[in-house]
Structure 1
Amino acid sequence: MTSSLTSLPLYQPSDDKKLADRIFKTAIDGLLYLDHDVHTDNRGFYSELSLIPDLEKVINHPFIIKQINQSHSAANVVRGFHAEGWNKLVTVITGKALSVLADTRPDSPTFLNKEYFLLDQSESALDGCLFIASNIANSICVLEGPVDYLYCVDTLYRDRDTSGDSAISLFDPDLDIAWPIDKNQMIISDRDRATTTLRKLYPEKF
């Protein structure tokens, strides 16, 4: 399904979602939006991306960053859905992207909930970070490229247990994601094309 950005239910932080200073809850348990503190002048800007001690108080457990990764993607690249066994803090540094998160954890109270985030450094989008708890399904769709996507994780890639990882189809009918790019225009990896659906993974949930 293809949809325009203006018709999407884009996430917006608000006072009723506020958990702590600059930290906001979402419709997915374990997914948080962290607002930036930005200071601008004639040189450009300085931004505090995240205060980890404040985040740890909200999630009630340590978040110790062990690896920092960056992906660089051209326009129309779509990556996902990846549900992986590590907690991560992500942000878009350059470009404009739609990040769609879905709760594909079968035992979660918010199973099948989804959120749409328009991420960019402009005033028309969100310029903050997302804290994504382990095994929440993550995707990113590049609207204006290139997009540089930074993600900090609490497990080394070489050491992590991948047995619980899953790759869910971007076009899973039960998620029914409204993508702003036509499927035929998307640039998708072979890995992300060879994914499965939630009904095949968890038939007992349907």
Structure 2
Amino acid sequence: MLTTPEIFSPSAENEVAPGIHSTKIQGLLYIQYKKFIDNRGFFSDITGFKNLEKVIGKRMDIKQINFASSHTNVIRGLHSEGWNKLVTVFSGKAFSALVDIRPESPTFKAIEYFMFDTDENSDLGTSLYIPMGISNSVCAIEGPVSYHYAVDAFYDERDVSGDKALSVFDPELNLQWPIPREQMIISDRDKESITLQEMLSQ
């Protein structure tokens, strides 16, 4: 039987700047952006860099924008990379599990769950600011799920020591996924990913 995890909810208590919310993982930020809707559709600034840079205390210089699309039941993750990134889901319904795998972090091993439902009639959209060292995933509940992630390093210039792949089935973390294991579509690389304990012992 699937267990429903506690999904992050933005509130006045966790709002650290207009439209930006802290989470239980240090440095991981949930961002809400305003959508200006009319009879043509909508327009929005999805970055909010002015407020974001005040919160993170540095410039967010985008070097590369990557785009991905996933069919229903696809899970990409859990990955951490040698860059900071801003993730925005544009279509479909997606679930995301994130884990702090930074041993020096005060929130080491903390887990946070998010749900992204791209309703065009909603006046708010959402993004995640994910710092280097946080293992992240995108799980497509209703595909196609299309999303992009803007990163602050070129792929061939990133800090490769930050590239790590964590098993979505790590028994210690016991992550709660919204689809049964036998229905998951996962890459060969992700199927062979190691546990957090194995990662720490390397």
Range class of TM-score, shorter chain: over 0.9
List per-residue Cα deviations over 1:68-92 (Å, max 9, x = no partner).
0000110000010001110000010
Question: Which residue is equivalent to 1:191?
Answer: 189
Percent of aligned pairs with the same amino acid: 50
Structure 2 runs not aligned, ≥5 long:
none
**CA shift at 1:164, angstroms?**
3.0
CA contact (8 A) 2:78 2:137 kept: yes
**CA shift at 1:48, angstroms?**
2.1
Amino acid at match of 1:97: A
In 2, distance between residues paired with 1:175 and 1:106?
A: 15
Question: Which residue is equivalent to 2:61?
Answer: 64
In 2, distance between residues paired with 1:161 and 1:37?
A: 33
Say which of 22, 31, 34 aligns to 2:19.
22
CA contact (8 A) 2:97 2:113 kept: yes
SS of equivalent residue, structure 1 residue 149: strand
Say which of 88, 92, 96 aligns to 2:89.
92
Question: Which residue is equivalent to 2:2?
Answer: 2
Superposition pairs of residues 97-136 of structure 1, within 5 angstroms: 97-122=94-119, 127-136=125-134
CA contact (8 A) 2:65 2:151 kept: yes
List per-residue Cα deviations over 1:96-124 (Å, max 9, x = no partner).
10011111111110011111111122279
Q: Which of structure 1's runs of 4+ aligned residues deviate more than 4 A?
A: none
**CA shift at 1:203, angstroms?**
4.9
TM-score scaled by structure 2?
A: 0.94
In 2, distance between residues paired with 1:82 and 1:186?
A: 17
Say which of 179, 186, 200 aligns to 2:177.
179
Amino acid at match of 2:74: V
SS of equivalent residue, structure 1 residue 96: strand
Structure 1 runs not aligned, ≥5 long:
none
RMSD: 1.7
Question: Which residue is equivalent to 2:39?
Answer: 42
Amino acid at match of 1:34: I
TM-score scaled by structure 1?
A: 0.92
